[in-house]
Amino acid sequence: MMIAIPDVLNAEQVARVRAIIDAAEWVDGNVSSGRQAALAKRNEQLPDDSAAARQAGGIVLDALGRTALFIAAALPAKVLPPMFNRYAGGQAFGTHIDNAIRIKGDFRMRADLSATLFLEDPQAYDGGELVIEDAFGTHSVKLPAGHLVLYPSSSQHRVEPVTRGVRTASFFWIESMVRDDAARRTLFELDGAIQALGARVGQGDAAIVQLTGVYHNLLRRWANS
């Protein structure tokens, strides 16, 4: 399931994050790449152990914890600390699939979902679309600053060359409580239907209570932790 999640960061939060990371020292993006990714990846990255990355990442994580749509769609068990990259001058990232397991020090997690949080308005740069391929076709994504796209880490994807301006973003991975993408989609759709119906008839309605029970029993059956 691929989903765009608007307004994870508001304008003030985007400005705070940009002030932190723009003043920091950037390095070649391949410092964190595997052998195959290094062949396709041309960008700059904020060192993930830098003070700037930790401070800006904390702002992103706090915002994610308050974003109901992200929690409903991802059902997060673990979130890798957010990282930051930027593309300019024709830089791009060719077609690839993210590693299944992400490791940072003693922290280890399965990457079920990938996320890109855009930190530059699309009018400020040309190119830089995140192109995601799935069973339903090819999707080109270029969102306003503060908006996030969430998609299965098993998807082939790429970043098109940036031919004007600078594309700046945060990226990270999520281990979901529900490993199976189809099951996670079913839970997300059921939750959305319950919320919409509850707004019309009231959350105390007997059918809403019953459907909520169905949701939690499915989550109990499918959750890994």
pLDDT tens-digit map of 48-67: 999 999 999 999 999 999 99
| pLDDT (0 to 100) of residue 36 | 56
Q: Where are the beta strands (DSSP E) in the chain?
A: 3-5, 27-28, 44-45, 76-79, 83-88, 93-96, 101-104, 107-110, 113-118, 126-127, 130-134, 137-141, 148-152, 156-159, 162-164, 166-176
Give yes or no: residues 134 and 31 share one domain.
yes
Q: Is 147 known as a binding-site position?
A: no
Q: How far apart are CA 25 and CA 118, in angstroms?
A: 20
Which residue is associated with the tokens 């199976």?
180
Give yes or no: residues 14 and 122 share one domain.
yes
Mean pLDDT of 23-33: 83
| pLDDT (0 to 100) of residue 7 | 98
Give yes or no: residues 15 and 119 share one domain.
yes
Give yes or no: residues 135 and 209 share one domain.
no
Give yes or no: residues 119 and 40 share one domain.
yes
Give yes or no: residues 69 and 152 share one domain.
yes
Work out how many domains the chain is built from and give that number: 2
pLDDT above 90 covers a percentage of the chain that reads: 89
Give yes or no: residues 109 and 33 share one domain.
yes
Give yes or no: residues 124 and 82 share one domain.
yes
Give yes or no: residues 56 and 19 share one domain.
yes
Does 33 score more than 60 pLDDT?
no
**Alpha carbon of 141 to those of 107, 110, 131, 138, 213: distances in Å?**
30, 24, 6, 10, 35
Q: Are 86 and 44 in contact (CB under 8 A)?
A: yes
Instruction: Name the pTM for this structure.
Output: 0.94
Mean pLDDT of 90-109: 93
Q: Is 220 known as a binding-site position?
A: no
Distance of CA 155 to the CA centre of its chain: 13
Give yes or no: residues 104 and 201 share one domain.
no
Local confidence band at 40 (pLDDT 50, 70, 90 cut-offs): confident
Which residue is associated with the tokens 């707004």?
199
What CATH number does residue 209 fall under? 4.10.860
The per-residue pLDDT for range 161-193, each reduced to its tens digit, is: 999 999 999 999 999 999 999 999 999 999 999
Phi, psi at 80, each rounded to 5°: -65, 135
| Structural domain for 154, as ranges | 3-176
Give yes or no: residues 99 and 208 share one domain.
no
Q: Is 139 known as a binding-site position?
A: no
Q: Is 48 known as a binding-site position?
A: no
